[in-house]
């Protein structure tokens, strides 16, 4: 080809690519415009409620603010109370923390609250394993949930609530694995799924000690087998805002309601009440009829 013909050919090709890109962008914009929001959900996690630091009043102010977003219900990501899992925690302290939890959440008793277990929620220091307050069953009762793991449906979205607190923590036990495999297998293709766990199944912040699920490879491989579904994951635990997208699955780890456990922070805090670079806050999730999701994090100033 002569030089002039080559340049003409290149120009035509570039123009076609550019027009194609505009066409794709226009198509995507049209799809977003057409989609319809079917659910708005508040995701709160790592509340770590306690009587100190004026935490009850501050938490209630957060809940009142969340209600202004006109949410349909709440997803609570665990660590609802400050800490029941240490060896020196007494029965009286555990009862005190759960009592404050119930009192402060009265202001949202008109909403459904679907919770998962956090690693700090269980009292392991009970004098006997037969004690009614020992372990997970007591937390399940306090949170008013069907079990340590469960599922439910809302507006053509399927919600899977996991118990991350097994083995060395941050993993699923064999019973739960079998349940999850059957749960996903039973879902039709294109089912829209939200999977809530306390520990992140997959997070960018791998430098955080005890951060990710230790069995994340197993879970991500399982999700890949079910890539005909539209799966999204929510978590907390690390008190950091962290988003990942892997094999078509979106992983949203939202910051904690308590920030630096309701304290002012330390030398690594980027601001007052921050844990490292993340301010205290909550997330509002918009779920759409096409299986897409918008996760927006709102820092709070309380």
pLDDT of residue 36: 96
* 204-226 pLDDT tens trace: 886 665 678 999 999 999 999 99
Residue 96: count of CB within 10 angstroms of its CB = 15
d(CA 291, CA 187) in angstroms, rounded, equals 14
d(CA 137, CA 67) in angstroms, rounded, equals 30
pLDDT of residue 9: 44
Q: Which residues pair with 285 in a beta bridge?
A: 41, 295
Residue 70 confidence (pLDDT) above 50: yes
pLDDT of residue 211: 77
Helix (H) or strand (E) holding 73: strand 73-76
Q: What rounded mean pLDDT belongs to the chain?
A: 90
Residue-wise DSSP of 149-189: SEEEEETTEEEEE-----TTSSS--HHHHHHHHHHHHTSPT
d(CA 57, CA 302) in angstroms, rounded, equals 9
Query: Domains in the chain and their CATH numbers?
Result: 39-299 (3.60.21.10)
Region of poorest pLDDT, from 8-17, 205-214, 275-284, 293-302: 8-17
What's the whole-model pTM score?
A: 0.89
Query: Averaged over 187-216, what is the pLDDT?
Result: 89
Core vs surface per residue 71-87: b (16+ CB within 10 A) or e: beebbbbbbbbbbbbee
pLDDT of residue 24: 39
Size of the chain, expressed as the number of residues it contains: 302
DSSP 24: H
Residue 134 confidence (pLDDT) above 90: yes
Confidence band of 244 (pLDDT split at 50, 70, 90): very high
* 247-266 pLDDT tens trace: 999 999 999 999 999 999 99
């Amino acid at each position: 080809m002569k030089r002039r013909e080559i340049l003409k050919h290149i120009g035509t090709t570039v123009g076609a690519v550019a027009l194609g890109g505009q066409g794709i962008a226009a198509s995507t914009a049209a799809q977003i415009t057409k989609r319809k929001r079917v659910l708005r959900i508040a995701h709160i996690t790592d509340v770590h409620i306690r009587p100190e630091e004026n935490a009850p009043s501050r938490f209630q102010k957060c809940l009142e603010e969340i209600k202004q977003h006109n949410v349909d219900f709440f997803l609570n990501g665990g660590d609802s109370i400050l800490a029941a899992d240490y060896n020196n925690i007494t029965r009286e302290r555990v009862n005190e923390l759960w009592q404050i939890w119930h009192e402060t959440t009265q202001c949202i008793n008109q909403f459904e609250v679907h919770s998962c277990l956090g690693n700090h929620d269980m009292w392991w220091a009970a004098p006997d394993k037969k004690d009614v307050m020992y372990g997970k069953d007591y937390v399940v009762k306090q949170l008013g949930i069907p079990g340590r793991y469960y599922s439910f449906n809302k507006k053509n979205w399927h919600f899977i609530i996991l118990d991350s607190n097994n083995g060395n923590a941050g993993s699923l036990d064999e019973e739960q694995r079998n349940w999850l495999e059957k749960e996903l297998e039973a879902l039709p293709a294109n089912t829209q799924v939200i999977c809530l766990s306390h520990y992140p199944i997959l997070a960018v912040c791998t430098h955080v000690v005890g951060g990710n699920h230790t069995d994340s490879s197993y879970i991500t491989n399982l999700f890949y087998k079910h890539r005909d579904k539209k799966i999204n994951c929510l978590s907390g635990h690390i008190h950091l805002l962290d988003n990942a997208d892997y094999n078509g699955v979106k992983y949203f780890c939202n910051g904690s309601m308590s920030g630096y456990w309701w304290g002012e922070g330390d030398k690594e805090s980027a601001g007052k009440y921050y844990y490292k670079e993340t301010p205290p806050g909550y997330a509002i999730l918009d779920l759409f009829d096409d299986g897409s999701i918008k996760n927006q994090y709102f820092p709070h100033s309380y």
